[in-house]
Structure 1
Amino acid sequence: MPELQPMSPMPFPELSALPGDTSMRYGMGTVDASGRVAERTVVRSLSWQQGDRLQLRVVANVLVLRAEPLGQTTVVSGPYVAIPAPVRIRVGIRVGDRVLLAAAPAHEVLLVLTSAVLDVALVSFWQRQ
């Protein structure tokens, strides 16, 4: 399995800089034994094709992916994203887990959020109400 490599010079957008309008695309997918997340609609919204290389980065337990020629993983048939095992372990994703995919097409970024991250976000939101 590929390991996390040093980041390329291409900057990742700050999560707080992502759009606050309705341009985000969302979907839930199940992670299979190969790390593939079965959710095509969100990936297609980014115009990624099978074989495109993706750079991975973990920010606050959220997996951030963007197209990058030297990326350490690729878009697989579907099109789907496949999360390498070391990255799944790092963010606590297991086979059969459901994850939220959130695409920001204008920024060409895909976020993968686990249920644990969503739990923290929702609890934090409701505690502030």
Structure 2
Amino acid sequence: FATWAPALADQFFAVYQASFRERPGYPDWSQGEWMAWLETDDDAFRSELSLLATQDDLPAGFIVCDERWIVQMGVRPDRRGRGIGSALVIEALKRIRAAGGDHVLLDVNVNNPSAARVYTRLGFERVGRRARYIRGLK
């Protein structure tokens, strides 16, 4: 795994786009907008907890974490089903634990049952359900 670094920002963003582009509600942000969103989330963005996975020397998946929150995890569609997402989560959990974390939270969209299954297999428990609303103004 490669740990987040400014020099890897383009690769993280490319995997983000590939991972989520086809999902309903994809915001189609620029790289700057995506980074601003990551850096202004509820907790402090933790570069040392955010990882890029490669397979066959190509960026394949990423995970972005705050202190006790998995903000976003994605795997390129052509690389799914190979354990990349699970490996990213497991490594992030190790790093969060080593940094003093005693629990980790995350959100998963209801329209993404495969991700929910991954998290359940890794020991996450559903503790609630919440809705987010958005209205475009273009």
User: TM over 0.5: same fold?
Assistant: no
Q: Higher strand fraction: Structure 1 or Structure 2?
A: 1
Question: TM-score, structure 2 length as denominator?
Answer: 0.27
Which gives a bigger RCO, structure 1 or 2 (Cα 8 Å, sep 6+)?
A: 1
Q: Higher helix fraction: Structure 1 or Structure 2?
A: 2
